[in-house]
Structure 1
Amino acid sequence: MFILLIRERSTAFLGDSLCSHHYALLFPLEFLSFARYDICQNEFLTPLLCGKLRFPFGDKLSPACTAVIGQNIQKAALCYGNGDAPCRPLTIKIALLQILEALFSNRAFLNAETPSHTQEELLRYSLKPVFSYMEEHYMEKITLEQLSGILHMNKNYFCKFFKEKVGKTPFSYLNEYRINQAAALLLKSSLPITEVALNTGFENISYFIRQFKHYRGCTPSAFRNLKTPGSVPII
Structure 2
Amino acid sequence: MAKIISFQIPKSQSEFVRYQEDRGRHFYDKLHQHPQLQLTVIREGAGQFLSGDYLGRFQAGDVFFLGENAPHVFRSDPEYFATERELKSTGDTVFFDFQAFGKALGELEELESLRKFGDFAGLCFQVLGEGKRQVVEIFDRFPKSSGLGRFQLALELLAILDQAGEELQPLNRPALIRGLSERDGKRMDQVMQFVFEESARAITLQEVADRANLGKEAFCRFFKLHTRKTFTQYLQQVRISQAKKLLLESDLGVAEIAFQVGFENLSYFNRSFKSLTGLSPLAWRKSERTGA
TM-score (norm 1): 0.45
More strand by share: 2
Which of these two proteins has the greater Rg computed from alpha carbons?
1
